[in-house]
Amino acid sequence: MIILLLAPYIFLLIDIGICVEENGFTADAIEMIGWTFMGMFLLILFPNMIYAFILKRYGYGYQKLFFWNMLIKICNIPIYVLVFAVGVFAVSMILGIMLIPFLVIFDYFLLLPSTMYGISGLRSLSKMGKSSKAEIVINGICQFLFVFDVISAVYLYIRFRKS
Averaged pLDDT in 10-residue chunks for the chain of 163 residues: 92 93 86 95 96 94 96 96 90 82 93 96 94 96 96 97 80
Whole-prediction pTM = 0.90
Cβ contacts of 64 within 8 Å, gap of 6 or more? 55
53 φ, ψ (degrees, to nearest 5): -90, -25
Q: What is the pLDDT of residue 94?
A: 79
pLDDT for res 65: 96
pLDDT at 163: 66
